[in-house]
């Protein structure tokens, strides 16, 4: 019985980990799109108004990544 519960819990953790990895992939794509957009603005016309919002979104993405890393470590430690 205990072994079965452990196996099911491990399966759930694996599913959560895969979901977090997919979300991480989306965040990386968003970060690349943001970088290219700001770089195009800088090269194309010297528009600096996109740099500050781009940096703010980058910091927010960094915060989400740190939060997910801490969650994965907590999930791994609870095993």
Query: What percent of the chain has pLDDT above 90?
Result: 35
Which pLDDT score, from 0 to 100, does residue 64 have?
94
Tell me if 64 sits within 8 A of 25, measured CB to CB.
no
Gap between the Cα atoms of 58 and 4, Å rounded: 42
Asked whether the CA dihedral 73, 57, 48, 43 is positive or negative, the reply is positive
Q: What is the pTM of this model?
A: 0.74
Answer whether residue 28 shows pLDDT above 80: yes
Nearest Cα residue to 34 out of 65, 56, 66, 67: 56
């Amino acid at each position: 019985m205990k072994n079965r519960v452990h196996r099911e819990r491990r399966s759930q953790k694996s599913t959560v980990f895969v979901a977090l990895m997919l979300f991480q992939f989306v965040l990386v794509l968003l970060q690349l799109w943001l970088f290219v957009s700001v770089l195009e603005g800088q090269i194309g016309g010297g528009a600096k108004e996109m740099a500050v919002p781009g940096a703010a979104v980058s910091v927010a993405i960094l915060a989400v990544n740190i939060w997910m890393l801490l969650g994965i470590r907590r999930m791994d430690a609870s095993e």
